[in-house]
Structure 1
Amino acid sequence: MKQHRHFHFSTSVIAYPIFFVLIIWVMFWADVRFGLRLSKFGIYPQTLKGLRGVLFSPFIHGSIKHLAHNSVPLLVLSSALFYFYRPIAWKVIGYGILVSGFLTWFIGRPSYHIGASGLIYVLVSFIFFKGVFAKYYRLIALSLLVVFLYGSMIWYTLPIEKGISWEGHLAGLITGLLFAFIFKKSIAKPKKYVWEQPDYNEDDDPFLKHFDENGNFIENLEPEIEEEESIIIRYSYKEYKENDD
Protein backbone atom coordinates (compact mmCIF):
# COMPACT_ATOMS: atom_id res chain seq x y z
CA MET A 1 0.00 0.00 0.00
CA LYS A 2 2.98 2.33 0.37
CA GLN A 3 3.13 2.82 -3.37
CA HIS A 4 -0.24 4.62 -3.25
CA ARG A 5 0.75 7.12 -0.60
CA HIS A 6 2.72 9.41 -2.90
CA PHE A 7 2.44 10.68 -6.44
CA HIS A 8 4.17 8.38 -8.89
CA PHE A 9 3.84 7.53 -12.54
CA SER A 10 2.93 4.06 -13.81
CA THR A 11 1.51 2.55 -16.98
CA SER A 12 -1.99 2.57 -15.51
CA VAL A 13 -1.99 6.39 -15.54
CA ILE A 14 -2.12 6.26 -19.35
CA ALA A 15 -3.34 2.72 -20.03
CA TYR A 16 -6.71 2.95 -18.26
CA PRO A 17 -7.75 6.30 -19.83
CA ILE A 18 -6.69 5.14 -23.31
CA PHE A 19 -8.61 1.89 -22.87
CA PHE A 20 -11.69 3.79 -21.71
CA VAL A 21 -11.60 6.18 -24.67
CA LEU A 22 -10.94 3.27 -27.03
CA ILE A 23 -14.13 1.54 -25.86
CA ILE A 24 -16.10 4.67 -26.69
CA TRP A 25 -14.61 4.81 -30.19
CA VAL A 26 -15.36 1.12 -30.77
CA MET A 27 -18.95 1.68 -29.67
CA PHE A 28 -19.31 4.57 -32.11
CA TRP A 29 -17.77 2.52 -34.93
CA ALA A 30 -20.16 -0.38 -34.27
CA ASP A 31 -23.11 2.02 -34.15
CA VAL A 32 -22.23 3.52 -37.55
CA ARG A 33 -21.10 0.27 -39.17
CA PHE A 34 -24.11 -1.83 -38.23
CA GLY A 35 -26.76 0.89 -37.86
CA LEU A 36 -27.50 0.02 -34.24
CA ARG A 37 -28.98 3.42 -33.36
CA LEU A 38 -27.56 3.32 -29.87
CA SER A 39 -28.92 6.75 -29.02
CA LYS A 40 -32.11 5.05 -27.88
CA PHE A 41 -30.04 3.68 -24.98
CA GLY A 42 -29.33 7.18 -23.71
CA ILE A 43 -30.86 8.79 -20.66
CA TYR A 44 -34.51 9.68 -21.19
CA PRO A 45 -35.53 11.68 -18.09
CA GLN A 46 -38.36 10.63 -15.79
CA THR A 47 -39.11 7.36 -17.56
CA LEU A 48 -38.34 3.89 -16.28
CA LYS A 49 -36.94 2.84 -19.64
CA GLY A 50 -34.71 5.89 -19.72
CA LEU A 51 -32.88 4.77 -16.59
CA ARG A 52 -30.77 2.34 -18.62
CA GLY A 53 -29.04 5.36 -20.09
CA VAL A 54 -27.44 6.04 -16.71
CA LEU A 55 -25.02 3.21 -17.51
CA PHE A 56 -24.87 3.39 -21.29
CA SER A 57 -25.03 7.09 -22.17
CA PRO A 58 -21.31 7.92 -21.53
CA PHE A 59 -20.37 5.39 -24.24
CA ILE A 60 -22.80 6.70 -26.88
CA HIS A 61 -22.18 9.68 -29.17
CA GLY A 62 -24.25 11.19 -31.93
CA SER A 63 -21.49 12.20 -34.36
CA ILE A 64 -17.75 12.01 -34.98
CA LYS A 65 -17.48 15.67 -33.99
CA HIS A 66 -19.26 14.99 -30.71
CA LEU A 67 -16.96 12.06 -30.02
CA ALA A 68 -13.77 13.94 -30.93
CA HIS A 69 -14.65 16.89 -28.69
CA ASN A 70 -15.14 14.56 -25.72
CA SER A 71 -12.17 12.24 -26.29
CA VAL A 72 -9.31 14.68 -25.64
CA PRO A 73 -10.56 16.19 -22.35
CA LEU A 74 -11.64 12.75 -21.15
CA LEU A 75 -8.16 11.38 -21.83
CA VAL A 76 -6.37 14.31 -20.20
CA LEU A 77 -8.59 14.57 -17.13
CA SER A 78 -8.77 10.84 -16.41
CA SER A 79 -4.96 10.60 -16.70
CA ALA A 80 -4.62 13.42 -14.16
CA LEU A 81 -7.13 11.64 -11.94
CA PHE A 82 -5.18 8.37 -11.99
CA TYR A 83 -1.89 10.15 -11.32
CA PHE A 84 -2.92 12.41 -8.46
CA TYR A 85 -5.86 10.47 -6.99
CA ARG A 86 -5.04 6.86 -7.81
CA PRO A 87 -6.66 5.22 -4.72
CA ILE A 88 -10.08 6.70 -5.52
CA ALA A 89 -9.87 7.10 -9.31
CA TRP A 90 -12.22 4.23 -10.15
CA LYS A 91 -14.67 5.34 -7.46
CA VAL A 92 -14.81 8.84 -8.90
CA ILE A 93 -15.38 7.49 -12.42
CA GLY A 94 -17.85 4.74 -11.48
CA TYR A 95 -19.90 6.67 -8.97
CA GLY A 96 -19.56 9.78 -11.13
CA ILE A 97 -21.28 8.04 -14.03
CA LEU A 98 -24.08 6.79 -11.79
CA VAL A 99 -24.73 9.91 -9.71
CA SER A 100 -24.48 12.40 -12.58
CA GLY A 101 -26.65 10.06 -14.68
CA PHE A 102 -29.38 9.91 -12.06
CA LEU A 103 -29.30 13.68 -11.63
CA THR A 104 -29.60 14.12 -15.39
CA TRP A 105 -32.52 11.69 -15.43
CA PHE A 106 -34.18 13.66 -12.65
CA ILE A 107 -33.74 17.24 -13.97
CA GLY A 108 -33.41 16.69 -17.73
CA ARG A 109 -35.75 17.60 -20.56
CA PRO A 110 -37.80 14.86 -22.26
CA SER A 111 -35.13 13.93 -24.80
CA TYR A 112 -32.30 11.43 -25.15
CA HIS A 113 -29.16 12.58 -23.33
CA ILE A 114 -25.99 10.89 -24.60
CA GLY A 115 -22.24 11.42 -24.48
CA ALA A 116 -19.35 11.38 -22.00
CA SER A 117 -19.57 15.12 -21.33
CA GLY A 118 -21.37 14.50 -18.03
CA LEU A 119 -18.41 12.45 -16.81
CA ILE A 120 -16.00 15.10 -18.10
CA TYR A 121 -17.77 17.71 -15.98
CA VAL A 122 -17.50 15.37 -12.99
CA LEU A 123 -13.73 15.18 -13.49
CA VAL A 124 -13.30 18.92 -14.08
CA SER A 125 -15.32 19.78 -10.99
CA PHE A 126 -13.72 17.15 -8.75
CA ILE A 127 -10.11 17.92 -9.74
CA PHE A 128 -10.63 21.67 -9.37
CA PHE A 129 -12.42 21.69 -6.01
CA LYS A 130 -10.35 18.88 -4.51
CA GLY A 131 -7.16 20.75 -5.35
CA VAL A 132 -8.50 23.88 -3.67
CA PHE A 133 -9.66 22.00 -0.57
CA ALA A 134 -6.39 20.03 -0.25
CA LYS A 135 -4.33 23.25 0.04
CA TYR A 136 -1.27 21.56 -1.45
CA TYR A 137 0.63 23.47 -4.11
CA ARG A 138 0.80 20.65 -6.68
CA LEU A 139 -2.93 20.02 -6.52
CA ILE A 140 -3.70 23.73 -6.56
CA ALA A 141 -1.50 24.06 -9.65
CA LEU A 142 -3.48 21.22 -11.23
CA SER A 143 -6.72 23.05 -10.39
CA LEU A 144 -5.47 26.22 -12.04
CA LEU A 145 -4.43 24.24 -15.10
CA VAL A 146 -7.90 22.73 -15.33
CA VAL A 147 -9.43 26.20 -15.13
CA PHE A 148 -7.09 27.44 -17.84
CA LEU A 149 -7.89 24.56 -20.19
CA TYR A 150 -11.55 23.96 -19.48
CA GLY A 151 -12.81 26.97 -17.53
CA SER A 152 -15.03 28.08 -20.40
CA MET A 153 -17.02 24.85 -20.01
CA ILE A 154 -18.87 26.43 -17.10
CA TRP A 155 -21.09 28.29 -19.56
CA TYR A 156 -22.41 25.03 -20.97
CA THR A 157 -24.05 24.22 -17.64
CA LEU A 158 -26.62 26.83 -18.70
CA PRO A 159 -29.22 26.52 -21.50
CA ILE A 160 -27.31 28.76 -23.92
CA GLU A 161 -27.14 26.47 -26.94
CA LYS A 162 -29.82 24.28 -28.44
CA GLY A 163 -29.13 20.57 -28.76
CA ILE A 164 -26.63 20.43 -25.87
CA SER A 165 -27.48 18.59 -22.66
CA TRP A 166 -26.77 21.40 -20.22
CA GLU A 167 -28.62 19.32 -17.62
CA GLY A 168 -25.99 16.57 -17.94
CA HIS A 169 -23.21 19.14 -17.64
CA LEU A 170 -24.78 20.71 -14.56
CA ALA A 171 -25.31 17.26 -13.02
CA GLY A 172 -21.65 16.44 -13.59
CA LEU A 173 -20.52 19.73 -12.05
CA ILE A 174 -22.63 19.16 -8.94
CA THR A 175 -21.47 15.55 -8.65
CA GLY A 176 -17.78 16.50 -8.81
CA LEU A 177 -18.26 19.12 -6.12
CA LEU A 178 -20.00 16.60 -3.85
CA PHE A 179 -17.19 14.09 -4.37
CA ALA A 180 -14.61 16.73 -3.43
CA PHE A 181 -16.30 16.89 -0.01
CA ILE A 182 -17.04 13.16 0.34
CA PHE A 183 -13.51 11.99 -0.44
CA LYS A 184 -11.86 14.47 1.94
CA LYS A 185 -9.44 12.00 3.48
CA SER A 186 -8.80 9.82 0.44
CA ILE A 187 -6.28 11.98 -1.36
CA ALA A 188 -2.66 11.36 -2.22
CA LYS A 189 -0.18 12.30 0.47
CA PRO A 190 2.72 14.12 -1.16
CA LYS A 191 6.16 13.02 0.01
CA LYS A 192 7.79 15.63 2.21
CA TYR A 193 11.42 16.59 1.97
CA VAL A 194 13.67 16.70 5.02
CA TRP A 195 13.32 20.45 5.41
CA GLU A 196 9.51 20.16 5.41
CA GLN A 197 9.46 17.97 8.52
CA PRO A 198 8.18 19.67 11.70
CA ASP A 199 11.23 18.59 13.76
CA TYR A 200 13.76 19.75 11.16
CA ASN A 201 16.61 21.87 12.53
CA GLU A 202 18.66 23.73 9.94
CA ASP A 203 21.70 23.93 12.26
CA ASP A 204 21.90 20.13 12.44
CA ASP A 205 21.72 19.55 8.70
CA PRO A 206 25.04 17.94 7.66
CA PHE A 207 24.59 19.16 4.10
CA LEU A 208 24.18 22.81 5.02
CA LYS A 209 27.32 22.68 7.17
CA HIS A 210 29.32 22.63 3.95
CA PHE A 211 28.22 26.22 3.21
CA ASP A 212 28.95 29.50 4.99
CA GLU A 213 26.44 32.22 5.87
CA ASN A 214 26.66 33.70 2.36
CA GLY A 215 25.97 30.37 0.67
CA ASN A 216 29.59 29.80 -0.42
CA PHE A 217 30.91 26.27 -0.47
CA ILE A 218 33.53 25.49 2.17
CA GLU A 219 36.20 23.43 0.42
CA ASN A 220 38.20 22.22 3.43
CA LEU A 221 35.70 21.38 6.07
CA GLU A 222 37.42 19.42 8.87
CA PRO A 223 35.86 18.42 12.16
CA GLU A 224 36.74 20.67 15.05
CA ILE A 225 38.61 18.82 17.83
CA GLU A 226 38.69 20.18 21.32
CA GLU A 227 42.03 20.49 23.06
CA GLU A 228 41.28 17.78 25.59
CA GLU A 229 40.30 15.34 22.88
CA SER A 230 43.48 16.17 20.92
CA ILE A 231 45.69 15.34 23.94
CA ILE A 232 43.95 12.04 24.46
CA ILE A 233 44.46 11.13 20.81
CA ARG A 234 48.19 11.97 20.90
CA TYR A 235 48.66 10.14 24.18
CA SER A 236 46.91 7.07 22.84
CA TYR A 237 49.16 7.09 19.78
CA LYS A 238 52.33 7.44 21.95
CA GLU A 239 51.17 4.63 24.19
CA TYR A 240 50.58 2.51 21.14
CA LYS A 241 54.16 3.16 19.86
CA GLU A 242 55.71 2.28 23.22
CA ASN A 243 53.83 -0.99 23.36
CA ASP A 244 54.79 -1.70 19.81
CA ASP A 245 58.51 -1.22 20.55
Structure 2
Amino acid sequence: MDAETLYQTRNAAYLGRVKRQFNRALTLSLSWIAMLLAVFLMQDRLFDTRALAIEPQKTEGLIGILSAPMLHGSFEHLASNAFAILILGTLAGSLFPRASRAALPVVWIVSGIGTWFISLGGHHIGASGVTVGLMFFLIAQGLRRRDRMSLAGLMLALFFFGGMVLSVLPQEAGVSWEYHLSGALVGFVCGLLFAGWDEQAPERLYSWDLEPEAGDADAELQLPKAQEVPVLWQRPEPRGGDKVLPFRRPDS
Protein backbone atom coordinates (compact mmCIF):
# COMPACT_ATOMS: atom_id res chain seq x y z
CA MET A 1 0.00 0.00 0.00
CA ASP A 2 1.47 3.36 -1.02
CA ALA A 3 1.73 6.32 1.34
CA GLU A 4 -1.23 8.28 -0.03
CA THR A 5 -3.59 5.30 0.05
CA LEU A 6 -2.59 4.49 3.62
CA TYR A 7 -3.17 8.09 4.66
CA GLN A 8 -6.59 8.23 2.98
CA THR A 9 -7.63 5.00 4.70
CA ARG A 10 -6.59 6.17 8.14
CA ASN A 11 -8.09 9.62 7.61
CA ALA A 12 -11.44 8.22 6.48
CA ALA A 13 -11.61 5.98 9.56
CA TYR A 14 -10.73 8.90 11.84
CA LEU A 15 -13.33 11.21 10.27
CA GLY A 16 -15.94 8.49 10.63
CA ARG A 17 -15.25 8.27 14.35
CA VAL A 18 -15.39 12.08 14.68
CA LYS A 19 -18.77 12.10 12.92
CA ARG A 20 -20.18 9.56 15.36
CA GLN A 21 -18.74 11.50 18.28
CA PHE A 22 -20.26 14.71 16.86
CA ASN A 23 -23.74 13.20 16.77
CA ARG A 24 -23.38 12.00 20.35
CA ALA A 25 -21.94 15.31 21.59
CA LEU A 26 -24.67 17.34 19.83
CA THR A 27 -27.37 15.18 21.40
CA LEU A 28 -25.87 15.59 24.87
CA SER A 29 -25.47 19.35 24.43
CA LEU A 30 -29.11 19.73 23.34
CA SER A 31 -30.21 17.58 26.29
CA TRP A 32 -28.23 19.81 28.63
CA ILE A 33 -29.87 22.91 27.16
CA ALA A 34 -33.33 21.35 27.51
CA MET A 35 -32.61 20.60 31.17
CA LEU A 36 -31.47 24.20 31.77
CA LEU A 37 -34.68 25.48 30.17
CA ALA A 38 -36.81 23.18 32.32
CA VAL A 39 -35.04 24.37 35.49
CA PHE A 40 -35.42 28.01 34.42
CA LEU A 41 -39.19 27.58 34.04
CA MET A 42 -39.39 26.15 37.57
CA GLN A 43 -37.21 28.80 39.23
CA ASP A 44 -38.87 30.77 42.01
CA ARG A 45 -42.02 28.70 41.52
CA LEU A 46 -40.95 25.39 42.98
CA PHE A 47 -37.78 26.49 44.81
CA ASP A 48 -35.90 29.59 45.93
CA THR A 49 -33.18 30.50 43.41
CA ARG A 50 -31.09 32.50 45.90
CA ALA A 51 -30.95 29.55 48.29
CA LEU A 52 -29.25 27.44 45.60
CA ALA A 53 -26.77 30.09 44.45
CA ILE A 54 -23.10 30.31 45.43
CA GLU A 55 -22.86 32.67 48.38
CA PRO A 56 -19.15 33.28 49.02
CA GLN A 57 -17.57 32.42 52.37
CA LYS A 58 -20.85 31.18 53.83
CA THR A 59 -21.51 27.57 54.67
CA GLU A 60 -25.06 27.66 53.33
CA GLY A 61 -23.66 28.97 50.04
CA LEU A 62 -21.63 25.81 49.41
CA ILE A 63 -24.65 24.04 47.91
CA GLY A 64 -24.39 26.43 44.98
CA ILE A 65 -21.18 24.73 43.87
CA LEU A 66 -23.39 21.93 42.53
CA SER A 67 -26.62 23.80 41.73
CA ALA A 68 -25.56 27.28 40.54
CA PRO A 69 -24.68 26.27 36.93
CA MET A 70 -28.29 25.10 36.47
CA LEU A 71 -29.80 28.47 37.43
CA HIS A 72 -30.09 31.70 35.41
CA GLY A 73 -31.20 35.21 36.19
CA SER A 74 -33.04 35.92 32.93
CA PHE A 75 -33.98 34.35 29.63
CA GLU A 76 -31.20 36.36 27.90
CA HIS A 77 -28.71 34.96 30.42
CA LEU A 78 -29.95 31.44 29.68
CA ALA A 79 -29.90 31.97 25.90
CA SER A 80 -26.29 33.19 25.84
CA ASN A 81 -25.10 30.22 27.91
CA ALA A 82 -27.23 27.79 25.89
CA PHE A 83 -25.58 28.94 22.65
CA ALA A 84 -22.12 28.55 24.23
CA ILE A 85 -23.01 25.04 25.44
CA LEU A 86 -24.28 24.10 21.98
CA ILE A 87 -21.05 25.19 20.22
CA LEU A 88 -18.37 24.55 22.83
CA GLY A 89 -19.93 21.41 24.26
CA THR A 90 -20.34 19.89 20.81
CA LEU A 91 -16.79 20.83 19.79
CA ALA A 92 -15.25 19.41 22.96
CA GLY A 93 -17.32 16.23 22.83
CA SER A 94 -16.61 15.65 19.13
CA LEU A 95 -12.86 16.19 19.14
CA PHE A 96 -11.95 15.13 22.68
CA PRO A 97 -14.65 12.79 24.00
CA ARG A 98 -12.57 11.10 26.72
CA ALA A 99 -10.85 14.28 27.90
CA SER A 100 -14.06 16.34 27.93
CA ARG A 101 -15.92 13.70 29.96
CA ALA A 102 -13.19 13.88 32.59
CA ALA A 103 -12.82 17.67 32.45
CA LEU A 104 -16.50 18.68 32.64
CA PRO A 105 -17.22 17.58 36.24
CA VAL A 106 -13.87 18.99 37.37
CA VAL A 107 -14.64 22.37 35.76
CA TRP A 108 -18.18 22.32 37.19
CA ILE A 109 -17.07 21.73 40.77
CA VAL A 110 -13.71 23.50 40.97
CA SER A 111 -14.96 26.66 39.27
CA GLY A 112 -17.68 26.85 41.93
CA ILE A 113 -15.19 26.28 44.73
CA GLY A 114 -12.93 28.99 43.33
CA THR A 115 -15.85 31.43 43.15
CA TRP A 116 -16.85 30.65 46.72
CA PHE A 117 -13.31 31.42 47.89
CA ILE A 118 -12.32 34.51 45.87
CA SER A 119 -15.60 36.39 45.52
CA LEU A 120 -16.36 39.12 48.00
CA GLY A 121 -20.13 38.87 48.01
CA GLY A 122 -23.33 38.47 46.04
CA HIS A 123 -25.18 35.39 44.81
CA HIS A 124 -23.56 33.71 41.83
CA ILE A 125 -25.60 31.64 39.36
CA GLY A 126 -25.33 30.58 35.73
CA ALA A 127 -23.49 28.11 33.53
CA SER A 128 -21.01 30.73 32.31
CA GLY A 129 -18.29 29.43 34.63
CA VAL A 130 -18.58 26.05 32.94
CA THR A 131 -18.79 27.47 29.40
CA VAL A 132 -15.73 29.66 29.93
CA GLY A 133 -14.01 26.56 31.29
CA LEU A 134 -14.88 24.66 28.10
CA MET A 135 -13.56 27.54 26.03
CA PHE A 136 -10.18 27.51 27.76
CA PHE A 137 -10.17 23.70 27.71
CA LEU A 138 -10.33 23.85 23.90
CA ILE A 139 -7.60 26.50 23.80
CA ALA A 140 -5.27 24.38 25.94
CA GLN A 141 -5.96 21.25 23.88
CA GLY A 142 -5.08 23.07 20.68
CA LEU A 143 -1.89 24.57 22.10
CA ARG A 144 -0.75 21.27 23.59
CA ARG A 145 -1.68 18.82 20.80
CA ARG A 146 -1.17 21.06 17.72
CA ASP A 147 -2.69 18.61 15.24
CA ARG A 148 -5.06 19.89 12.57
CA MET A 149 -8.33 18.97 14.32
CA SER A 150 -7.40 20.40 17.73
CA LEU A 151 -6.19 23.62 16.08
CA ALA A 152 -9.45 23.78 14.12
CA GLY A 153 -11.36 23.44 17.40
CA LEU A 154 -9.28 26.21 18.94
CA MET A 155 -9.92 28.55 15.99
CA LEU A 156 -13.66 27.87 15.98
CA ALA A 157 -13.89 28.48 19.71
CA LEU A 158 -12.06 31.79 19.37
CA PHE A 159 -14.15 32.77 16.34
CA PHE A 160 -17.45 32.32 18.18
CA PHE A 161 -16.43 33.22 21.73
CA GLY A 162 -13.17 35.16 21.61
CA GLY A 163 -14.73 37.76 23.90
CA MET A 164 -14.77 35.21 26.71
CA VAL A 165 -11.03 35.70 27.10
CA LEU A 166 -11.69 39.18 28.52
CA SER A 167 -14.65 38.06 30.63
CA VAL A 168 -12.25 36.86 33.33
CA LEU A 169 -11.65 40.52 34.25
CA PRO A 170 -14.08 42.80 36.13
CA GLN A 171 -16.06 44.64 33.46
CA GLU A 172 -19.77 44.88 34.15
CA ALA A 173 -21.74 45.06 37.38
CA GLY A 174 -23.79 41.95 38.00
CA VAL A 175 -21.53 39.71 35.89
CA SER A 176 -19.58 37.18 37.94
CA TRP A 177 -16.03 37.61 36.64
CA GLU A 178 -14.92 35.47 39.59
CA TYR A 179 -16.91 32.54 38.20
CA HIS A 180 -15.42 33.15 34.74
CA LEU A 181 -11.87 33.38 36.08
CA SER A 182 -12.21 30.21 38.14
CA GLY A 183 -13.69 28.34 35.18
CA ALA A 184 -10.97 29.60 32.81
CA LEU A 185 -8.13 28.51 35.10
CA VAL A 186 -9.44 25.02 35.80
CA GLY A 187 -10.51 24.52 32.17
CA PHE A 188 -7.06 25.46 30.89
CA VAL A 189 -5.32 23.16 33.38
CA CYS A 190 -7.63 20.28 32.47
CA GLY A 191 -6.94 20.88 28.80
CA LEU A 192 -3.21 20.58 29.40
CA LEU A 193 -3.43 17.57 31.69
CA PHE A 194 -5.84 15.57 29.49
CA ALA A 195 -4.27 16.49 26.13
CA GLY A 196 -3.07 12.96 25.38
CA TRP A 197 -6.30 11.13 26.20
CA ASP A 198 -7.83 11.18 22.73
CA GLU A 199 -6.79 10.05 19.27
CA GLN A 200 -4.96 12.55 17.08
CA ALA A 201 -5.84 13.19 13.47
CA PRO A 202 -3.57 11.14 11.17
CA GLU A 203 -0.76 12.98 9.44
CA ARG A 204 -0.15 12.71 5.73
CA LEU A 205 2.49 10.09 4.92
CA TYR A 206 5.22 10.34 2.31
CA SER A 207 7.25 7.68 0.53
CA TRP A 208 10.19 7.97 2.88
CA ASP A 209 7.88 7.28 5.85
CA LEU A 210 7.36 3.77 4.49
CA GLU A 211 11.03 2.99 3.79
CA PRO A 212 13.01 0.56 6.02
CA GLU A 213 14.11 1.61 9.46
CA ALA A 214 17.01 4.01 9.74
CA GLY A 215 19.27 1.31 11.17
CA ASP A 216 18.80 -0.90 8.10
CA ALA A 217 19.37 2.02 5.77
CA ASP A 218 22.55 2.99 7.59
CA ALA A 219 23.80 -0.58 7.34
CA GLU A 220 23.32 -0.52 3.58
CA LEU A 221 25.15 2.79 3.23
CA GLN A 222 28.01 1.91 5.59
CA LEU A 223 31.42 2.15 3.93
CA PRO A 224 33.54 -1.04 3.81
CA LYS A 225 36.65 -1.39 5.91
CA ALA A 226 40.01 -0.41 4.42
CA GLN A 227 41.24 -3.99 4.08
CA GLU A 228 38.08 -4.92 2.20
CA VAL A 229 38.57 -2.31 -0.54
CA PRO A 230 40.17 -3.88 -3.68
CA VAL A 231 43.49 -2.37 -4.75
CA LEU A 232 43.19 -0.92 -8.24
CA TRP A 233 46.68 0.60 -8.49
CA GLN A 234 49.95 0.03 -6.69
CA ARG A 235 52.88 2.38 -6.58
CA PRO A 236 55.87 0.79 -8.36
CA GLU A 237 59.01 0.11 -6.38
CA PRO A 238 61.93 2.57 -7.11
CA ARG A 239 64.46 1.27 -9.64
CA GLY A 240 68.20 1.33 -9.13
CA GLY A 241 68.87 4.16 -11.57
CA ASP A 242 66.13 6.38 -10.33
CA LYS A 243 67.34 9.54 -8.67
CA VAL A 244 65.68 12.34 -6.80
CA LEU A 245 66.76 15.72 -8.16
CA PRO A 246 67.65 18.23 -5.50
CA PHE A 247 65.79 21.54 -5.50
CA ARG A 248 68.02 24.60 -5.34
CA ARG A 249 66.99 27.20 -2.83
CA PRO A 250 66.26 30.58 -4.43
CA ASP A 251 68.79 32.44 -2.20
CA SER A 252 71.67 30.04 -2.89
TM-score computed with the length of structure 1 as normaliser: 0.74
Whether 1:22 and 2:34 are equivalent positions in the alignment is yes
Does the C-alpha gap of structure 1 residues 196 and 171 become closer, same or farther in structure 2, counting only changes over 3 Å?
farther
Match of 1:200 among 204, 210, 226: 210
Whether 1:148 and 2:159 are equivalent positions in the alignment is yes
Whether 1:184 and 2:195 are equivalent positions in the alignment is yes
Taking every aligned residue pair, what percent have the same amino acid on both sides? 27
Cα distance between partner residues in 1 of 2:108 and 2:208: 41
Task: For 1:199, give the aligned amino acid.
Answer: D
C-alpha offsets along residues 5-50 of structure 1, whole Å, 9 cap, x if unaligned?
A: 9452223121111111111100001115x25332320111111111
Which residue of 2 is the match for residue 123 of structure 1? 134
Which residue of 2 is the match for residue 39 of structure 1? 50
Whether 1:166 and 2:177 are equivalent positions in the alignment is yes
Task: For 1:144, give the aligned amino acid.
Answer: M
Contact 2:148 2:201 in 1 (8 A): no
Task: For 1:189, give the aligned amino acid.
Answer: Q
Contact 1:58 1:117 in 2 (8 A): yes
Does the C-alpha gap of structure 1 residues 81 and 196 become closer, same or farther in structure 2, counting only changes over 3 Å?
farther
User: What do you get for the CA RMSD once the two structures are aligned?
Assistant: 1.9
Per-residue deviation, 1:189: 2.4
Task: For 2:28, give the aligned amino acid.
Answer: Y
Task: For 1:109, give the aligned amino acid.
Answer: L
Whether 1:75 and 2:91 are equivalent positions in the alignment is no
Cα distance between partner residues in 1 of 2:206 and 2:123: 53
Out of 143-152 and 70-79, give the one that drifted further: 143-152
Cα distance between partner residues in 1 of 2:207 and 2:60: 56
Cα distance between partner residues in 1 of 2:54 and 2:32: 20
- Give aligned pairs, total: 195
Contact 1:57 1:115 in 2 (8 A): yes
Does the C-alpha gap of structure 1 residues 133 and 162 become closer, same or farther in structure 2, counting only changes over 3 Å?
same
Per-residue deviation, 1:166: 0.4
Per-residue deviation, 1:109: 2.2
Contact 1:43 1:113 in 2 (8 A): yes
Task: For 2:70, give the aligned amino acid.
Answer: F
Contact 1:39 1:62 in 2 (8 A): no
Whether 1:13 and 2:25 are equivalent positions in the alignment is yes
Contact 2:142 2:150 in 1 (8 A): yes
